[in-house]
A and B are shown apart, each in its own frame.
Chain A
């Protein structure tokens, strides 16, 4: 094989394509079959954030007439812009799901402006009315599922010490930690949740260290908010602790130790989105929901979960599913420095924008935001 010759010929062809392509412009691909592109920031079998989205993509693959193309490990740089364009130009994709939080600004906005006829659905809930109308950003109130995990953890723990391995002290993560701690405290007022921040979304070594360190301090139930919970789940199970999963179901990694978990339900949401488009109604630019809207779900209980814990968790779930819903963050809430963060009498429901700015850890959480 002579790569020199091939590449020279190809260079010439590329040069010809270069002139042709410039003249023809971008084709506005609308084929009979719709092609949908999925872009993941990490690997799609990470037992975590990306796998949850890949499961959603897999649900779409089952729908006839839909073609799904996927690309993993796409960085949050102009690489994602190029991947989007490549899916549009080379695969004819008309609906793109760039699933990582950091893809939105400026990359998706730029692409949505460049391709006004195509649709872009981003996971993260970042859309504002200044942004292009063909872009949307959805997100789920996964803190509801974390609250239920907290209940199960609080009733399973013998030491009353729970552990949380977290990436960064940003509002979304703090909200999960607080919801988990409040869930545990609702059934066991003495329960504490000790949190360790690793500093980034995927730091397997630090996640393992944090897991070990928490267990060394007497923690016997752990959960996490990092991109891939695999490290925490496997290490905790090996040390004999129980775990609550996150993002997706990790029970296969630790069948005995896995209690329950807070999962995304993209396999329910994505087919819903496709139906909305097919019906011509379009997807709302800003789409959110929790357990009731089937955007998040709770893993099936593991064998170690007692009947009492199952009942308490099911009761809480019923409250979230009820017409009135259930507010996790209620008035009279004190942070772990003793400051009142929600005044008595004000309930902050899941859609309250104040919760999006959360910068505290509630009473009962051991740890600091900075």
Chain B
């Protein structure tokens, strides 16, 4: 963990003096990397507490219900993990291209296309053994989402189109394609007032992790996050990607195939979000309709930035945001806060974490900071 965190701190571009290879320096960097986000989070919660006080509510109640609704009971944990599952996958859609210095914010589009592709695969393979259908759905979901983001990568590499804008606009195109197909060609005629595709069939659903209510998407997310971490920090390919992300001209001079890097990374990123779409279909909805566009792709961007684009850090951050949204309902019911208060909290956390970037390398070690 120590060297990993230090590595990522460097990637993100921390100001820490990396020249001194002394043990203390490295250790200090790691502590900093854990401590600053926690302090930022604590600061955000404190500010949110003040905000809630302005509404005449007791902030201690707030903290209690947040904890109770997110982690206080076994049910709360399952609620949190269920909500975290798609976020891990969609966050990877932003975090992987970030290694190349690209800002991709179109995970939602890849998720929608992944869901559509996975549904199509399942509908085409009706009657095949469930395992075959499920594997085909995974392949279709990953390929669909992957190609979608690869499109944004290719536009950037070959046509010089800004990938942030293009990936965002591709979300709306994906949504239009989804609505067009769901309300037209792929519509189940029986879905009168809620246009939907036909159902993929109960037998083809992937179900929950045994003993829980949490669907398999969580496991997919954990595997994908760890795999992405290994790929980026422990393979030659990942090293090449980080070199290209640090200085694209230098990467070209040393002969790295930058186009290939960009396209591959974008494919993997979109594939992760596409897999999230497949899971939504195969574990939750059982078919595709407008409900698939629930905004997981957009929350994923927040998760990736809060995790400072580190694939491993995405896991705890996704669980944290899953917990915030799980406890949001309880805040509405017990404290009478509007739903928007959860968005306010997310916004405050985001601002604090971004602002805390300025602190790296400026704290005389751990002194007085907790």
Interface residues of A (CB under 8 A from B): 1-4, 6, 10-11, 13-14, 17-22, 26, 43, 69-79, 82-83, 85-87, 89-91, 101-102, 106, 124, 168, 170-172, 199-200, 356-357, 370
Candidates B67, B69, B280; contact of A77 at CB < 8 Å: B280
How close is A65's CB to chain B, nearest CB, in angstroms? 18
Q: Contact at B332–A106, with CB atoms within 8 Å?
A: no
How close is A11's CB to chain B, nearest CB, in angstroms? 7
Q: Contact at B71–A14, with CB atoms within 8 Å?
A: yes
Interface residues of B (CB under 8 A from A): 38, 41-42, 45-46, 63, 67-69, 71-77, 79, 82-83, 179, 183-184, 192-195, 211, 213, 215, 280, 284-286, 289-291, 294-295, 325-326, 329-330, 332-333, 338-340, 370
Q: Contact at A18–B38, with CB atoms within 8 Å?
A: no
Q: Contact at B329–A83, with CB atoms within 8 Å?
A: yes
CA distance in complex: A101, B77 (Å)? 28
Task: Known A82-B82, A86-B69, A199-B179; judge A14-B77 contact (CB<8 A).
Answer: yes
Q: Which residues of A contact B211 (CB under 8 A)?
A: 22
How close is A313's CB to chain B, nearest CB, in angstroms? 28
Query: Which residue of chain B has the shortest Cβ distance to A169 in the bound complex?
Result: B183
CA distance in complex: A137, B98 (Å)? 47
10 more CB-based (< 8 A) A-B contacts, given A89-B73, A106-B286 = A1-B42, A17-B72, A17-B74, A70-B333, A72-B338, A82-B82, A90-B73, A90-B76, A168-B195, A170-B195
Query: Which residue of chain B has the shortest Cβ distance to A114 in the bound complex?
Result: B213
Query: Which residue of chain B has the shortest Cβ distance to A104 in the bound complex?
Result: B194
Q: Which residues of A contact B74 (CB under 8 A)?
A: 17-22
Q: Which residues of B contact A43 (CB under 8 A)?
A: 338-340
Q: Contact at B333–A87, with CB atoms within 8 Å?
A: yes
CA distance in complex: A51, B295 (Å)? 23
How close is B207's CB to chain A, nearest CB, in angstroms? 12
Q: Which residues of A contact B284 (CB under 8 A)?
A: 77-78, 106
Q: Contact at A85–B79, with CB atoms within 8 Å?
A: yes
Q: Contact at B75–A90, with CB atoms within 8 Å?
A: yes
How close is A110's CB to chain B, nearest CB, in angstroms? 10
Q: Contact at A79–B294, with CB atoms within 8 Å?
A: yes
Query: Which residue of chain A has the shortest Cβ distance to B332 in the bound complex?
Result: A71
How close is B216's CB to chain A, nearest CB, in angstroms? 13
Candidates B42, B295, B338; contact of A4 at CB < 8 Å: B42
6 residue pairs bridging A and B, Cβ less than 8 Å apart: A19-B74, A21-B74, A76-B291, A83-B329, A172-B193, A199-B179
Q: Which residues of A contact B286 (CB under 8 A)?
A: 106
Q: Contact at A357–B75, with CB atoms within 8 Å?
A: no
Q: Nearest 8 pairs between A and B by C-beta?
A: A21-B74, A3-B42, A14-B71, A73-B339, A76-B291, A69-B333, A18-B74, A75-B294
CA distance in complex: A73, B330 (Å)? 13
Q: Contact at B67–A10, with CB atoms within 8 Å?
A: yes
Q: Contact at B193–A124, with CB atoms within 8 Å?
A: yes
Q: Which residues of B contact A89 (CB under 8 A)?
A: 73, 75
User: Which of A26, A77, A200 has the most chain B CB atoms closer than 10 A to its own CB?
Assistant: A77
How close is B184's CB to chain A, nearest CB, in angstroms? 8
Q: Contact at A85–B291, with CB atoms within 8 Å?
A: no
CA distance in complex: A87, B329 (Å)? 9
Q: Contact at A72–B83, with CB atoms within 8 Å?
A: no
CA distance in complex: A370, B179 (Å)? 12
Q: Which residues of B contact A124 (CB under 8 A)?
A: 193
Q: Contact at B193–A171, with CB atoms within 8 Å?
A: yes
Query: Which residue of chain B has the shortest Cβ distance to A38 in the bound complex?
Result: B333
CA distance in complex: A181, B323 (Å)? 49
Query: Which residue of chain A has the shortest Cβ distance to B326 in the bound complex?
Result: A82
User: Which of A3, A4, A74 has the most chain B CB atoms closer than 10 A to its own CB?
Assistant: A3
How close is B299's CB to chain A, nearest CB, in angstroms? 11
Q: Which residues of A contact B183 (CB under 8 A)?
A: 168
